[in-house]
């Protein structure tokens, strides 16, 4: 139970006490400043505390925003101060009788005091009875429940989500809140629904494809509702942030696997596994472009490039905003496209259209980021470290970087060298005889290029391209070698391996985004780094495919996938349930 202390006798006719109780506070009334201190001393140190001026007039939701948001140590409104147990330690007891003065003192002491944006909501301490009546009339004129529902929806989201999902998913969120459901439970329900959709698609039957499309949309409605429930009821949590971030990828890639399995069972079309793996490669690489560019631009206060100026002008025109958000194929548009195509066509058609649309979106977003970057000044040390962590480079690249540190590269030499190494390994895996050792040599060259590219801090204007280049090179090598093997089971095994790697790379992104840094160095070394894994896959392909034993190649891919999945999942779960994990929720509306 949280405790709210009224710093004086309540005003006759005021609903303040009942409002606070509706928010879960045990209300105590102090007759004077001395009594406030006594109530404060009697309150358990581990409780959340609210100090409230009894003259306060305002909406219940305004109080909720200041007093119940778990993301902030302290929250304040006029005449209201909410404190977590950690922030209470900085509160001087002599100031507890005046919430406004106490809030200013906390800020002076270095405690961040959250002051929520209220919009049309009212929160005030009237100076006299006339002003009080005016503020009460202002409260009555605004339905704070409707404000609460509107604020549950992201202010910036995709076209499909904004106009086709959120108008009713917000009511799903409210229904869940009134029945005591948590965002984590809704997130889990969304995952289960998506997995059932994948199972339906895996039947290979037309009814299964139709059911899969319907269930995928239902899963997305729940996916929107979980975040809206978190905002509606202020139920933010570290575990919820992790589940929300990782389950989206788990749902989408599980559905890809279901479609590929359905194609295999329904018509014997094994090649759809290659398309599914290609779609996963494309989406992961495209997201890596977004993440890496944003991390490299983290400390930039402004971008005055012509591209940035044009983008700002386009965002000022209403219809262009929605067109641009649809072009980048965010998760809402992408899942709607997949669902409709699944129900109406075949898995092969679904993946081909998805690949074409995804490639166009990737080219559009990457071109814009390139044009924004070419004239940028050198990156900061923090941005350079973030991009380096996203490369996921292992011991081979680190060794090459130490040995070749004196090698000087021109301004664009770093991404050019990484691109050369990636192109060599992909071309060699594609063009040389199956089972030859040339891909092993190419993989060693790729590791060498990776090390040289990392020999200097990644502060160049286009150095943020390294992580997506490395993702394409590693995933692409696995895809090409598995596809060329022609062995039954090779592509599903490769899909499982890339799925494990994708989880590791997304987990790295979410940790960095939360401000806690990359995964521990031992984990990156234990899973080999992108260059080490590429070399291992090339070596096992040469060893077993060259000897005519494709079952050995399949076993090696499967074993590698299992080992990596176990290592990264155990460490990821350990981190995200620890006290150091950030409660970071995506409120940006950036494409996912």
String of DSSP letters for 330-397: -HHHHHHHHHHHHHHS-HHHHHHHHHHHHHHHHHHHHHHHHHHHTTPPPPPHHHHHHHHHHH---HHH
Burial of 579 (0-12, 13-18, 19+ CB in 10 A): exposed
Residue 16 clears pLDDT 50, i.e. is over it? yes
CA distance 488 to 551: 9
CA distance 114 to 65: 9
The pLDDT assigned to 371 comes to 86
**For the segment 89-103, what is each residue's pLDDT rounded down to a tens digit?**
888 777 767 899 999
pTM to 2 decimals? 0.91
Under 8 Å between Cβ of 437 and 542: yes
- For residue 113, what is the enclosing H or E element? strand 113-114
What average pLDDT score do residues 532-555 get? 94
| Residue 567 in tokens | 């290592």
3-state class (DSSP) for residue 1:
coil
Query: Is residue 589 very low, low, confident or very high in pLDDT (cuts 50, 70, 90)?
Result: very low
Residue 565 clears pLDDT 90, i.e. is over it? yes
Q: Which pairs count as long-range contacts for 60-64, CB under 8 Å and 24+ apart, including other chains?
A: 60/19, 60/22, 60/23, 60/144, 61/121, 61/144, 61/145, 61/147, 61/148, 62/116, 62/118, 62/121, 62/122, 62/123, 62/144, 63/19, 63/20, 63/23, 63/123, 64/23, 64/148, 64/234
The pLDDT assigned to 131 comes to 95
Beta-carbon contacts of 536 under 8 Å, excluding residues fewer than 6 positions away, are: 528, 560
Residue 215 clears pLDDT 50, i.e. is over it? yes
The pLDDT assigned to 305 comes to 56
| Residue 38 in tokens | 């006594």
CA distance 493 to 510: 26
Angle subtended at Cα 413 by Cα 407 and Cα 416, rounded to the nearest 5 degrees: 125
**For the segment 31-54, what is each residue's pLDDT rounded down to a tens digit?**
877 788 888 888 888 889 999 999
Could you say which DSSP state residue 546 is in?
A: T
Residue 583 clears pLDDT 70, i.e. is over it? no
Query: Is residue 269 very low, low, confident or very high in pLDDT (cuts 50, 70, 90)?
Result: confident
Q: What mean pLDDT is reported for the chain?
A: 90
Could you tell me which residue, 514 or 518, shows the higher pLDDT?
A: 518
Residue 590 clears pLDDT 60, i.e. is over it? no
Query: Is residue 316 very low, low, confident or very high in pLDDT (cuts 50, 70, 90)?
Result: low
- Strands 49-52 and 2-6 come out as parallel
Under 8 Å between Cβ of 54 and 9: yes
% of the chain surpassing 90 pLDDT: 70
Residue 363 clears pLDDT 60, i.e. is over it? yes
| Residue 56 in tokens | 């306060």
Under 8 Å between Cβ of 454 and 423: no
Query: Is residue 233 very low, low, confident or very high in pLDDT (cuts 50, 70, 90)?
Result: very high
Least confident of 146-160, 214-228, 237-251, 427-441: 237-251
What average pLDDT score do residues 205-209 get? 96
Under 8 Å between Cβ of 503 and 453: no
% of the chain surpassing 70 pLDDT: 93
Burial of 567 (0-12, 13-18, 19+ CB in 10 A): middle
| Residue 174 in tokens | 């409210």
φ, ψ of residue 81 to 5 degrees: the values are -140, 125
Residue 196 clears pLDDT 50, i.e. is over it? yes
Burial of 546 (0-12, 13-18, 19+ CB in 10 A): middle
Q: Which residues lie across from 3 on neighbouring strands?
A: 26, 49
DSSP readout, 186-227? HHHHHHHHHHHHHHHHHT-SHHHHHHHHHHHHHHHHHHHHHH
**For the segment 283-297, what is each residue's pLDDT rounded down to a tens digit?**
999 999 999 998 988
The pLDDT assigned to 71 comes to 87
Q: Which domains does the chain have, with CATH numbers?
A: 2-142 (3.90.550), 150-269+316-374 (1.20.120.1760), 293-298+380-587 (1.20.120)
Residue 170 clears pLDDT 70, i.e. is over it? yes
Residue 162 clears pLDDT 80, i.e. is over it? yes
Angle subtended at Cα 500 by Cα 499 and Cα 506, rounded to the nearest 5 degrees: 85
| Residue 512 in tokens | 């960095």
Residue 1 clears pLDDT 80, i.e. is over it? no
CA distance 561 to 502: 11
Residue 591 clears pLDDT 50, i.e. is over it? no
CA distance 171 to 152: 10
Least confident of 252-266, 284-298, 433-447, 578-592: 578-592
**For the segment 374-416, what is each residue's pLDDT rounded down to a tens digit?**
766 667 888 899 999 999 999 999 999 888 776 777 778 899 9
Can you tell me which residue has the tokens 């507890």?
96
């Amino acid at each position: 139970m949280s405790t709210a202390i009224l710093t004086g006798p309540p005003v006759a006719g005021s609903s303040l006490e009942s409002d606070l109780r509706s928010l879960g506070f045990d209300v105590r009334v102090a007759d004077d400043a001395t009594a406030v201190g006594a109530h404060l001393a009697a309150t358990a140190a581990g409780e959340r505390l609210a100090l409230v001026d009894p003259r306060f007039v305002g909406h219940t939701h305004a109080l909720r925003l200041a007093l119940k948001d778990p993301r902030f140590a302290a929250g304040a409104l006029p005449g209201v101060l909410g404190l977590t147990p950690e922030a209470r330690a900085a509160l001087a007891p002599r100031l507890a009788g005046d919430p406004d003065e106490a809030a200013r003192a906390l800020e002076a002491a270095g405690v961040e005091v959250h002051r929520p944006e209220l919009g049309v909501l009212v929160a005030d301490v009237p100076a006299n009875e006339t002003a009080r009546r005016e503020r009460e009339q202002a409260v009555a004129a605004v339905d704070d429940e409707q404000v609460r529902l509107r604020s549950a929806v992201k202010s910036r989201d995709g076209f499909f989500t904004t106009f086709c999902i959120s108008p009713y998913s917000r009511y799903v969120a409210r229904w869940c809140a009134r029945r005591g459901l948590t965002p984590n439970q809704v997130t889990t329900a969304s995952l289960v629904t998506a997995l059932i959709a994948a199972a339906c698609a895996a039947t290979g039957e037309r009814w299964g494809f139709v059911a899969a499309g319907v269930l995928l949309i239902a899963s997305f409605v729940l996916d929107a509702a979980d975040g809206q429930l978190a905002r509606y009821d202020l139920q933010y949590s570290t575990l919820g942030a992790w589940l929300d971030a990782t389950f989206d990828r788990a749902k989408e890639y599980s559905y890809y696997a279901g479609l590929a399995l359905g194609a295999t069972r329904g018509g014997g079309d094994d090649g759809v596994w290659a398309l599914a793996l290609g779609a996963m490669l494309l989406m992961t690489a495209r997201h890596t472009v977004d993440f890496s560019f944003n991390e490299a631009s983290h400390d930039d206060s402004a971008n005055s490039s012509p591209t940035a100026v044009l983008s700002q002008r386009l965002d000022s025109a209403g219809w262009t905003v929605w067109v641009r958000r649809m072009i980048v194929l965010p998760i809402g548009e992408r899942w709607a496209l997949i669902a409709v195509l699944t129900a109406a066509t075949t898995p092969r058609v679904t993946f081909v259209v998805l690949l074409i649309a995804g490639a166009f979106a990737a080219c559009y977003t990457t071109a814009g980021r390139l044009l924004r970057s070419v004239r940028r000044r050198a990156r900061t040390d923090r941005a350079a470290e973030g991009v380096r962590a996203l490369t996921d480079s292992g011991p081979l690249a680190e060794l090459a970087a130490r040995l070749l540190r004196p090698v000087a590269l021109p301004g664009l030499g770093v991404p050019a060298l990484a691109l050369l190494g990636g192109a060599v390994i992909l071309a060699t895996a594609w063009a040389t005889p199956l089972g030859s050792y040339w891909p092993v040599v190419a993989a060693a060259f790729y590791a060498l290029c990776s090390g040289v590219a990392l020999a200097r801090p990644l502060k160049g204007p286009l150095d943020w391209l390294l992580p997506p280049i490395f993702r394409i090179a590693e995933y692409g090598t696995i895809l090409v070698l598995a596809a060329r093997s022609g062995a039954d089971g090779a592509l599903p095994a490769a899909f499982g391996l890339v799925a494990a790697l994708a989880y590791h790379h997304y987990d790295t992104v979410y940790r960095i985004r939360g401000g806690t840094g990359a995964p521990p160095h031992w984990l990156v070394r234990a899973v080999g780094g992108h260059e080490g894994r590429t070399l291992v896959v090339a070596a096992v392909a040469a060893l077993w495919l060259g000897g005519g034993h494709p079952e050995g190649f399949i076993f090696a891919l499967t074993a590698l996938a299992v080992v990596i999945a176990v290592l990264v999942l155990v460490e990821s779960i350990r981190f995200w349930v620890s006290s150091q994990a950030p409660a970071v929720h995506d409120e940006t509306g950036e494409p996912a």
